[in-house]
Amino acid sequence: MVFNILNAPAGIVPVTRVTQKDVDAMAQYPDTDADHRKVKEVRTLRIPCGGHTILSGARLQHFWDETWRFGQGAPDFKGI
Closest to 46 in 3D by CA, of 79, 10, 12, 73: 79
CA dist 25 and 14 (Å) reads: 21
pTM recorded for the entire structure: 0.52
Tens of pLDDT, residue by residue over 5-55, are 666 667 777 778 889 998 898 888 888 889 888 888 888 888 888 877 777
